[in-house]
Amino acid sequence: MNSISGRVALVTGGSRGLGLEIAQALAKEGIHVALGYRNRREEAEGIAASIEAAYGIRALAIGGDASKAADVHNMVSIVERQLGGITILVNNAGINPTATLDSITQAMWDETLATNLTSAFLMTQRVLPSMLEARFGRIIMMSSIAAQLGGVIGPHYAASKAGMLGLMHSYASLLAKEGITANAIAPALIETDMIKNNPHITPDLLPVRRFGQAGDVADIVAALVRNGYITGQTININGGWYHS
């Protein structure tokens, strides 16, 4: 049995796309997983049941709005009661409302920052007591190449994803002595629903001339969860688009 088998992970936005692939990768490691979702309850519960059957771990679909403190408290409390203390958190919940520069409204800005950044802060703060008690924790922020290059969605999205990097660096610095790591992943053009129907997003943007796959990202998440020495880092998975 490895050091992470039997632990409990929460993946926000975990019932579809990239989040689902990450949840499955963690389940393969013997980790019990909670899949956060905001809508589509029946679909999320069916996915949780299929993960349990496939990997022999416990899986739970947990609904709520991760950008609202009351929902976050309730979601985590349910996971703690049913699965145990959360020591692995993947902040993956997010939206990407594409807009031209002159069409971005304050409402769009507020919603994007709340969904992509505030949710990561609220979730991390809520699960930290369990990590501190266990003296083990893995915090992973799903950022984006937009945090580094601006991206093609808009400044509201780029700012939300850049904020996740600052949040990650702060947690990494403050928690390293507690056995808790914090890292970020900055993907570009992963082939999920998030990039469909956007004419500005094509494989030609990438040096490798193809979209990335969700499994490319999930593999790195699992590696970061296994590794207790890597912290404070942004892992770029972008087909060679940005070199740090």
Strands of the 88-91 sheet, one edge to the other: 59-63, 32-37, 8-11, 88-91, 137-142, 180-187, 234-237
157 is catalytic: yes
Rounded Cα gap, residues 44 and 132, in angstroms:
29
What token pair was written down for 83? 């699965």
Catalytic residue among 55, 157, 171, 229: 157
Rounded Cα gap, residues 99 and 141, in angstroms:
24
Per DSSP, 204 falls in state G
Residue closest to 51 by CA, chosen among 91, 85, 88, 11: 11
- Mind telling me the catalytic residues? 157
